[in-house]
Structure formats: C-alpha cells, structure tokens
Amino acid sequence: MAAFAIVMMVCLVLIHGGQCKGVFNAAEALHKAKDAENGDVGPDVKAFNVLDYGAKSDGKTDTSINFRRTFEAACNFHGDAMMVIPEGEFLMGPVLFSGPCSNPSLLIIQVNGIVKAQSNMAYYRGGGDDTDWITFQAIDGLIVSGRGTFHGQGSQVWGFNDCARKSNCVRLPATLKFIKVTDAIIRGIKSIDPKGFHIMISMSRNFRIVSVDLQAPGDSPNTDGIHMSKSDLVKISKTVIATGDDCVSMIHGSTNISIKKVICGPGHGFSIGSLGHYDDEADVSGIIVKNCSLRETDNGVRIKTYKTDSPSKASGIIFQDLIMTRVRNPIIIDQEYGNTKYSQPSKVRISDVHYINIRGTSASKVAVDLLCSASNPCQGIHLDNVNLQYAGPPNDDMPFSSNCRNARVAYHGFQSPPPCR
C-alpha cells in the first residue's frame, strides 16, 4: 500500500508532462498487446498511420524517413498512441526509434504489413553495433504487436559474413534491436531471413516475447533467434525459432531469464554464452529453459566459455522437461570454446546447473559432454531423469556414453546415456 502511494505521488508530480506510466502490469500489457494485434484498442488510443506521413506501400519506395516521422509523432503525443504499419509492403533502410516518449501508457507499434530491409549494405555503413536495421532505444513502455512480417533480405548479404574465419568479425545488422528499453511486449510478429540476429536485446529490463515466429535457413550464418546481454527479467514463450545459429543466446549480464514452450530447429539450440569474451563481464544467473522442444539442432542446451582470463560466474540454471529429436549434442558444457590457441583455462565459474527430465534422441554417441575448466571445475551439476537414446548412423561401434572433465556431477533417477565413471 505504501509503495502504491509513492507511485501515485510521483505520478501526480509528473502527470502534467505526461511521463508517468505507473506500475507495469504484465497481464494487462499482454492483453493490450493481443487487442493491438486484432486492432481492438478502443477510441482513446490515437492512431498514427505511416501512410498519413507519406509512406508508400509499393515495396519499392524507401520509407525510412516516413516511418521515423510517424514514430516521432506517436512518441511525442501526450496521450495513448499507436503507430500503425498497415497491410502492404514497405521498403526501409536502417531506422532508430528513440525515446523517451510522452505517452501515459505503453506506446503501441501495430505491424500488419510486410516491412522489407534495404539489401544494399551501403545503407548500413558496414553493419556493426552502431547500425542495425530497426532499433528501439530508451523507451519506457512499448508494445510491438501484429500479424505482420519483418523481412531482412539476409540471403543477399550472408556471403559477406566472415565470422567463421575471423574472431573479431563485424556482425551483420540485426532485424530488431532493443537497447535501454523497459516494460516491453513483443507479440505475434514474424521475422524472416535477417542479415544478422532476428531480435537483439541489450541493457533492457522486463521483456515479454510471446507467439513470435522467427525463420531463417539452417545454414544462414550468425542469425541467432533472440540474443540478449546485460538484461534482466526476459520471458520468452510460445515461440517458434528456426535459424542458422542459437535459437536463444544469453551472454554476459543476462539474469532472470525464462524460456518456455519454445520450438527450436534448425539451429544451435539454447546457449548460455559465449562467456569470458570481454573484460569485466557481468554474471549470468537465474536462467530457466522449460517445456521446450528441439529438432535436429546442432546442440540442445549448451553453456560455452572462452579460454581467457576474464572472470565471471554462471549459476542458478535449470533445463527442465525438454524433448530432443536427433540433436547432435543434447547436453553440453564447453569451457574451451573457440580459443584453442590459448593455454590458460577459462576463469568463468559454472555452478548450480540442473538438467531435469530431458528425453528424446541424440544424433551423436556422446550425448552428455561436460568439458569444464581445469582451474574452475563445474560445481553442483545435477542430472535428474535423463532419457536419451541414440538415433545416429548405425555404423559406429562406439558406445553410447557421457563424457565429463573437471565436473562434479550428481545423478538422480534414470540415466541414459550412463553416468560418467
């Protein structure tokens, strides 16, 4: 009650400027996102249609400035607002949608059309962290919802990706980037063939990603489905991810992440890491991946760290109730990821990791592979009812097994493959 009174007092101070959005109610926000997808937002929400700001839906005319002007009008409106991208095809180069916004409630971006990215890399100044395709920045309260599609036209530029040959490569532009965004709902949209990541989240808090569809070929390079760093309270559910890299990747500073009812494949599975890549990395903790399925992915659930002297921790991790179908590396910890030329062991400490009710089939004979650091052995690794069966090539006489190095593992219930000796 006292906390509510404080919030109301702050709102009274700020209400004249239209800046107070009150306490974020996730259930109400999700309901509002569903209403926005169906176009049922009520008369109190003012619509700002990109067509009214000069955008052409012919799929040929660049609409970047028209989209930016529409967003600025909606963002600066001192009332409930919705930016509308109607049915049709819109061509657009890189755009920054930046706050803070003046709306008293969550700003809605309703996407029902097809938004296609400029394919010429000259528009993106070579890609990299300062030029993604569509960036939402410094916004408190955001809904992106609808039945529309973001098409990155990545197939025309994937050949420029040199990350397989260079460790310090320049990544290609992400389709949707959220940086310093709080209290956000992403619902219903589809992303096809991004140049880089489908969705990138950084320095953000309190995200819900629900019922999105992310699609790219299995051989598309570095097209992570959802990639996050330095972010807290991210919940992903009822989502389909087929891509050429990690379905969901959580790197440094990812905390309190929930991934439930996600279908992954093709792709590289659910990954924590790579960790230990940068100096002074923030810890990773509070991760749960539950009730998900993976089909013919390169990995199932993976924790990966570099062999560097950058210390951090990864702890409080639960992988539970997962179904795997012909997954190449179903359960894997790799603390020698990438840096084969470095002799020092990884300084990342991995602890309190639980694998519970993992079942299905493995495409490799080593279905559980725990390769931990010699100087920082994995602590508190628990395998509880793991039931994986081999479904790979029949001409391999190698036994179906587990491999453990520098890992302290406790086993509970049924175990297939057999526990490490």
Asked if 41 contacts 108 with a C-beta cutoff of 8 angstroms, the reply is yes
Which has the closest alpha carbon to 148: 76, 97, 64, 85? 85
Q: What is the pLDDT of residue 12?
A: 36
Q: What is the pLDDT of residue 284?
A: 98
From the candidates 151, 227, 268, 277, give the one annotated as an active-site residue. Answer: 268
Q: What span, in angstroms and rounded, lies between the C-alpha atoms of 198 and 192? A: 8
Q: What span, in angstroms and rounded, lies between the C-alpha atoms of 94 and 150? A: 13
Q: What is the pLDDT of residue 167?
A: 64
Q: What is the pLDDT of residue 403?
A: 97
Residue ranges of domains in the chain, CATH in brackets = 36-157+172-231 (2.160.20.10), 246-420 (2.160.20.10)
Q: What is the pLDDT of residue 228?
A: 98
Q: DSSP per residue over 168-204, as a string?
A: TPPPPPPSEEEEEEEEEEEES-EEES-SS-SEEEES-
Which has the closest alpha carbon to 66: 92, 40, 47, 42? 92
Q: What is the pLDDT of residue 339?
A: 60
Instruction: Phi first, then psi: give them for residue 29, nearest 5 degrees.
Output: -65, -40
Q: What is the pLDDT of residue 341?
A: 64
Is 245 an annotated catalytic residue?
Answer: yes
Single pTM value for the model? 0.93
Q: What is the pLDDT of residue 160?
A: 81
Q: What is the pLDDT of residue 115?
A: 98
Instruction: Phi first, then psi: give them for residue 409, nearest 5 degrees.
Output: -115, 135
From the candidates 132, 140, 224, 245, give the one annotated as an active-site residue. Answer: 245
List CB contacts of 72: < 8 A, sequence separation 6 or more: none
Mean pLDDT of each 10-residue bin along the chain, 421 residues long: 39 41 83 87 95 98 98 98 98 96 97 96 68 95 98 93 70 95 98 98 98 97 97 98 98 98 98 91 97 98 92 97 98 86 85 98 97 96 98 87 96 97 79
Is 16 an annotated catalytic residue?
Answer: no
Q: What span, in angstroms and rounded, lies between the C-alpha atoms of 173 and 171? A: 7
Q: How many residues does the chain have?
A: 421
Q: What is the pLDDT of residue 9?
A: 40
Q: What is the pLDDT of residue 22?
A: 66
Q: What span, in angstroms and rounded, lies between the C-alpha atoms of 185 and 180? A: 14
- Coil vs helix vs strand at 72: helix
